[in-house]
Structure 1
Amino acid sequence: MQLDGRLSRMLHVLIHMDRVEGPITSAQAAQMLHTNPVVVRRTMAGLREAGFVRSEKGHAGGWRLVVSLDSVTMLDIYRAVGEPRIFAIGLADPAPDCLVEQAVNESMSEALGAAEAMLIARLGQVTLAQIAKGFEARHATCVTAGER
């Protein structure tokens, strides 16, 4: 089963966008994310609709970040990319006749619901600025060590 990387990809590209002058093109973002520009445009459309980026047409066009990283959480981006499914595990049969499977479904649903609520709460606590600080610390370490 393939994992949904939209949230991770958009967090990645937004932090890069904060560090460049001017817009970035879908092709530049696609190269950075090892994907196709069409995929970038589709996913960025959700961010545009949520008011995090804007698109500019023309020769010098592309995508531009229009909010500060400290005003946006991981949860905001999760919602903007369409709230992808969080867990790969689920119920074998959502409406079983078997009483054992009904009990299993009840327990699984409760556990998954609690875990999802905890994760969603955590996503709402982490800003993109906090993630960017993690990059800055890593970058400083590489520069200090003579790497790039």
Structure 2
Amino acid sequence: MKRDSRLSSVLHALLHMAEEDGPMTSDQLAGCLRTNPVVVRRTMGLLREAGFVTSDRGPAGGWRIVVDLEAVTLRELHAALGEPAIFAIGNRTETPECLVEQTVNAALDDTFLRAEALLLERFSEITLADLATDFSRRHVQQCKQED
């Protein structure tokens, strides 16, 4: 099963946008993400609908963040993306009448629900500003190593 990496991509794009003084085009963001501009537009459209970004058309246009980085959590961005499945693993459902399958699925369902709740709770604690701060620290550290 293919992993859904949209949250990671969105975070990547938003951090690039936060570093820019002006808007970034879908082509620029696609270059940063090594993807197609159509994928960027589709994903950024979800963020625009949720009120995180705006877009302007024309030669000076592009995508801009319109929220305070301190106010946006990973949980909110995950929700804006339609709350994609957290885990790529799941239950067998080929023989629902099988008591063994029922037992296994009950245990897995409970475990998956608890793990997802814990992860979403953690997502609620991390803001875009936290990521931007970590990026800045890493950037400074890398620059010092290069000198």
TM-score grouping bracket, smaller chain normalisation: over 0.9
TM-score by length of 1: 0.95
Distance 1:99 1:4 in 2: 32
Cα distance in 2 between the residues matched to 1:134 and 1:60: 30
Give 1:81's aligned residue.
Answer: 81
SS at 2:125's partner residue?
coil
Alpha-carbon shift at residue 24 of structure 1 (Å) = 0.3
Question: Helix, strand or coil: the match of 2:112?
Answer: helix
Q: CA deviation at 1:146?
A: 2.0
Deviations 1:85-113 (A, max 9, x none): 11011011077110111111111100000
| Structure 2 unmatched runs, 5+ | none
Q: Does 1:36 align with 2:36?
A: yes
Counterpart position of 2:20: 20
What residue in structure 2 maps to residue 90 of structure 1?
90
CA distance in 2, matches of 1:142, 1:97: 58
The 1:116–1:94 alpha-carbon spacing in structure 2 relative to 1, beyond 3 Å, is farther
Identity of aligned residues (%): 51
CA distance in 2, matches of 1:37, 1:8: 16
Structure 1 residue 20, shift from structure 2 partner: 0.5
Deviations along 1:36-84, one digit per CA (max 9) or x if unpaired, are 0000000001100110000101111110110111110001111111111
Which runs of structure 1 show a deviation greater than 3 angstroms over 4 or more consecutive aligned residues?
Answer: none
Which amino acid in the other structure matches residue 54 of structure 1?
Answer: T
Report the count of equivalent residues: 147
- Equivalent AA in structure 2 for residue 120 of structure 1: L
Aligned to 2:109: 109
Contact 1:94 1:105 in 2 (8 A): no
